[in-house]
Amino acid sequence: MKTALITGGTKGIGKAIALAFLQRGYEVVLNYHSDQQAAIAAQEEFNIQGYCPILLRADVSDELQVKNMFKEFFSIYGKLDVLVNNAGISKVKVIQDTTVGDWDKVFAVNAKSAFLCSREVANKMIFAGGGSIVNVASVWGEVGASCEVAYSASKGAVIAFTKALAKELAPSNVRVNCVSPGVIDTAMNSHLTDDEMRELVEEIPAGRIGLPSDVGEAVAFIAENSYITGEILSVGGGFGK
């Protein structure tokens, strides 16, 4: 049985990614940090659909918690086939109002977590004969977003991290790719007004904002393709191109 662990896997895009792997027959572990109520609700929703994902709580920006999470994971499962580094936060502020604490927190959750989790599983995947790591970035990491400098920079770092790690691990049959969502219908975009959302939709060639399931299917596809590595797959209906 193949296994997948999704960080930030109990809400929004992470939850849709989890469903995509569950539908493909994977044993899925959902990482979450602070919202236990939402995590349990997501698990119960999957249970109703006939799936039995496991919950593992950890702040994936904390080195010790990451180590303990994977220690628990590997005590349950012998190997990890797919790691999805999806956990992320945003910070909407002009640069003058962005504190060092804001910057460090965004980078810790969005970029440092991908480093910590990938480092923790690299040897396990190498010794198992292969594996797949998928990082979730953002279109803003490709083109930049006004009033989201920290977020955009952190997602740009995830993209560069993906390209470098892919070259490093490819000889060991461990593939590393990145999915870069555009404007997706999640709580992270709930701060946008109706007018702002309409303006964004007008800039999307596909004529609509994306669904979490659009991203989930893209992650599953790129995770399973045996000859794709180092790629940045944009899922944004042509936005930003």
Calculate the average pLDDT of the chain. 95
For 83-138, write each residue's pLDDT tens digit.
Answer: 999 999 999 999 999 999 999 999 999 999 999 999 999 999 999 999 999 999 99
Provide the pLDDT confidence category of residue 227 given band limits of 50, 70 and 90: very high
Is residue 26 annotated as part of the catalytic site, yes or no?
no
pTM: 0.96
Query: What is the C-alpha to C-alpha distance for residues 134 and 231, in angstroms, rounded to an integer?
Result: 10
Active-site hit among 26, 32, 51, 151: 151
Query: What is the C-alpha to C-alpha distance for residues 49 and 125, in angstroms, rounded to an integer?
Result: 30
Pick the range with the lowest mean pLDDT from 19-33, 52-66, 95-109, 199-213: 199-213
Mean pLDDT for the stretch of residues 197-203: 86
What HEC string does 56-83 produce? EECCCCCHHHHHHHHHHHHHHCCCCCEE
Note the pLDDT of residue 12.
95
SS3 235: strand
Provide the pLDDT confidence category of residue 218 given band limits of 50, 70 and 90: very high
Q: What is the CA radius of gyration of the chain?
A: 17
Decide if pLDDT at 6 tops 90: yes
Count other C-beta atoms under 10 Å from residue 165's C-beta: 24
Higher pLDDT residue, 73 or 203? 73
Give the percent of the chain with pLDDT over 90: 90
Provide the pLDDT confidence category of residue 187 given band limits of 50, 70 and 90: confident
Decide if pLDDT at 241 tops 90: no
Note the pLDDT of residue 85.
98
For 156-183, write each residue's pLDDT tens digit.
Answer: 999 999 999 999 999 999 999 999 999 9
Residue 84: partners with Cβ closer than 8 Å, 6 or more residues away: 4, 5, 6, 7, 9, 14, 17, 133, 134, 135, 136, 219, 223
